[in-house]
Structure formats: structure tokens, C-alpha cells
Amino acid sequence: MMVLRLLKIPKSTYFDWVHYTESHRQREDAILKALLREIWQNNYKAYGVPRLRLALADLNLHHGTNRVRRLMREAGIYSVMSRRFNKPTITVDYRQHPNLIKHLPEEAHAWSMDITYLKLSNGQGTLMDFSHY
């Protein structure tokens, strides 16, 4: 007990440490971490929280998303997959009109117009933009 006094550690802290036992939840978490790591490695490290939860459910182990996420973070498990980027398309379902101006010779003059409708507080306003090609 002299050492505790020199280190300024309360006796209760020492005795808590000596008589420490893991709780049921901590034991369960340790088993789940090992199981999650095994499932993750067997599936090319591609599984994230949703798929790992489904894999646990297949083993009749039903746990919440937040618990699985916490255990994954503690175990250093993460999915190596990332979401695919879908480039926005400019395709439309209706038939497009051909661009007749693009094929005109250089010396030809053409006007084009763009109409933009702006919603105003007193109704609807219109803005017209004329361009000379």
C-alpha cells in the first residue's frame, strides 16, 4: 500500500482494477468483432454496415446499425468499395430536332433566340436573349 500512497492512487482504484471482470456486453462485443472481421475478410473486404448486418442476420444474430458501425470502427473494419459516380446524362425520351444552324456556311447569317420565364411576385415575366451567328 506504500506504492499506492507514493503514486497518489486511491486504494479503491487499485481494488477495482484487481477485481475487474468483463461485463456480458463487453464479452459479446469481443465475439461480434471477431465474427465481423471474419465475415468482412471472407468477402474481399467489400462489406460495409448494411451487408454485415444482413450477414449477421443470416446467422440469426440481429443487431442494430449503430452497434455494428461502432464495432467496425473499433475493429478497424471498413469497406474498400466506394459508391459509383453516375455521370448525369443529357438524353431525353422524346425525339430531338436537328441543329440546322450548325451545317450552314460561314457567310450565312442566322439569328437565334432564347426565352427564359421568370416568376415574379405580380405574375410571370419573360426575358428574351437574341444572338447573331
Predicted confidence band of residue 128 (pLDDT cuts 50, 70, 90): low
Could you report the per-residue pLDDT of 113-123, keeping only the tens digit for each? 777 767 777 76
Could you report the per-residue pLDDT of 45-102, keeping only the tens digit for each? 999 999 999 999 999 999 999 999 999 999 999 999 888 888 888 777 888 788 877 8
pLDDT at position 101: 78
pLDDT at 124 over 70: no
pLDDT at position 127: 65
pLDDT at position 107: 79
Span 36-41, average pLDDT: 97
Q: Which residues pair with 132 in a beta bridge?
A: 111
Q: Which of 30, 41, 42, 35 is nearest to 57 (CA)?
A: 35
pLDDT at position 104: 82
